[in-house]
Amino acid sequence: MPGLSAQIRQLERELGQPLLDRSGRTVRPTEAGEAVLPYARAALAAVEGVRQMVQEYTGLLRGRVAIGLVPGALTHPFDLAGLLADFHRAHPGVEVTLTEDVSEAMLSAPRGGALDLAVAGVADRVPPAGIAWEVCVDVPLVVAAVPEHPLLAAHRDGGAVPPAALDGQRLIGLPRGTGMRAVLERLCAGAGFPPHVVFEAATPDALARLAARGLGVAVLPGQDPRPGLRTLPLADPRARGRVALAWRTRGPLSPAARELLDRLRRTMRAGA
């Protein structure tokens, strides 16, 4: 490497000491060369660090991030749309794509590289292999119906409704493949029956609207009052509506995806 040899000779002239012994067939470091070797390695490591930093900075300017969302995620109080707007202003060259689908699909896509990040409903406490997640929503599930519904009339004391009481009820729930639907099916299976879901809708708000029309009993996250409905909690500690920010652990994330992930995690923790 003629360029490297010239740089070493220039350094030797500046130091006034030979760094390499060139007298034999094999070039070896001199005593002075051995002494400066750690500093040379540190300098090379610093140069490599600068190179990686520049590459990451370039990635942030020109990267692409694919995000999967459960329907309704953009209306969440965390203001995901506002966060994405802030990210775009900071990194206008990054292309961000959004895809909506059920949670099951959102959680499998990052493992295959189709998505970088996902905001999805989860039914399990532990993420599947190849995925890490951070739960950002964890609220109790409730049943909701018009006040005169027989199920609610049987619980006028306001007590929690056991899953067994849902047997034979016309239920309104999220589609299969969603975290809440998986929780509902597990609760009913534990009580010895399959849920009789007569209406499906993509968002909790849509479920509430159907229930307010007297079409059945909706299973919803949270206990916020909803117009035209009475709600009661489900009497089971597993009856939780949980939404998580998920990302893959097998294979690297791009610099742009890592930056957006960090922003999302900071915002969600601050709002917790």
pLDDT in tens, the chain (272 residues): 556 677 778 877 887 888 888 887 788 888 887 887 777 777 776 776 666 556 556 656 677 899 998 887 776 667 888 889 999 998 888 899 999 888 898 888 888 788 999 999 999 888 888 899 999 889 999 999 999 999 988 887 778 999 999 999 999 999 999 999 999 999 999 999 999 999 999 999 999 999 999 999 999 998 666 788 999 999 999 999 999 999 998 877 888 899 899 998 888 777 65
Contacts of residues 190-197 at CB distance under 8 Å and 24 or more positions apart, as own/partner, are: 190/163, 190/236, 191/162, 191/163, 191/164, 191/166, 191/167, 192/164, 192/167, 193/167, 195/166, 195/171, 196/168, 196/169, 196/170, 196/171, 197/171, 197/172, 197/173
Tell the CATH topology of 63-136+243-271.
Answer: D-Maltodextrin-Binding Protein; domain 2 (3.40.190)
pLDDT of residue 137: 87
Q: Indicate the CATH number of 2-61 among 1.10.10.10, 3.40.50.1100, 1.20.1050.10, 3.40.50.620.
A: 1.10.10.10
pLDDT at site 236:
93
Locate the DSSP E strands across 177-225: 197-200, 217-221
CATH 3.40.190.10 region(s) of the chain? 63-136+243-271, 140-241
Q: How high is the pLDDT of residue 146? A: 95
What pTM value is reported for the model? 0.73
Contacts of residue 67, Cβ cutoff 8 Å, sequence gap at least 6: 96, 97, 98, 99, 115, 116, 117, 118, 119, 260
pLDDT of residue 271: 61
- Domain 140-241 grouped into CATH 3.40.190.10: yes
* Strands 230-233 and 131-145, bridge-based pairing: antiparallel
User: What is the CA angle 204-109-129, rounded to 5?
Assistant: 100
